[in-house]
Structure 1
């Protein structure tokens, strides 16, 4: 949209740059504020420590590796 505006009006990009940065910063702040309020009612409960997650990932990888080693069933 910015490129179309610059091309259609003939105004230089550097004239629009401060306004584009201001708009993007303003929208980002509003988005963070809205998301913070939206998730405020939902408490954060971690699933476990890093070792549990690592163990789960390694177990899944090893089980997939075993499945790949098995010969394919004949059709």
Structure 2
């Protein structure tokens, strides 16, 4: 009888009113969907910041890679 749960006991009460109140309360207290949405929003924000940084630094990165290419072109 771990966690006070009886084996074979129904998870939802048999009385329809109690069952509906139980399901609504359980739905209201469930935060797993909110956590997934928060992680999605964070991932979206990070991707927007990365794209913005790459767009801002793009010309400088091109210059760096051209310098490296020029330095390596003389090496056999």
With the length of structure 2 as denominator, give the TM-score of the two structures. 0.39
Point out which structure has higher relative CO (alpha carbons under 8 A, 6+ apart): 2
Q: Highest CA radius of gyration, 1 or 2?
A: 2
With the length of structure 1 as denominator, give the TM-score of the two structures. 0.40
Greater share of helix: 2
